[in-house]
Amino acid sequence: MTSRPFIALLAVSVLALAGCSSAPALTDDDAAALATLAEVAGPTSNVDPATITRTECWLPSEHLIDDPSVSSTTWKVLCRTHYVDDSGDRYQDATCVGDFALTPMLDHCYRWAFYTGMPHFEDFPGVEAGG
């Protein structure tokens, strides 16, 4: 027989895990940036658009560039475009610099590879780009 305290602990654990896995609430700026990133990140880093299954990016509002030489609305994120080719499921990372104040916020990203000591995609949680 299962005890009530165990069931209560299980319910709290499930709710806590569900909260951890849910996507953050997006601002209008972040939603617009992520929609643009979904269209731009993969194709401009040489991924065939027909093969893309999804794109995830760092949240732009959490990666504003703190540099007086650029606008306070400028951000830099990494995106990971997932795609399928003859060898199976693959991904390509891209670095993308955009600006919330511009239209469009960005028009290209660059293929990116991790170098020792640099931030990489796994350093920050990804947010599904596009809709």
The full length of the chain comes to 131
Q: What does DSSP say about strands 74-85 and 88-99: parallel, antiparallel, or unpaired? A: antiparallel
- Give 76-115 pLDDT, tens digit per residue: 999 999 999 999 999 999 999 999 999 999 999 999 876 7
- Give 1-25 pLDDT, tens digit per residue: 444 443 443 344 444 444 445 666 8
Q: What pTM was estimated for this model as a whole?
A: 0.72
CB 129 within 8 A of CB 58: no
Amino acid at position 26, single letter: L
- Burial of residue 96 (CB within 10 Å: 0-12, 13-18, 19+) is buried
- Give 101-111 pLDDT, tens digit per residue: 999 999 999 99
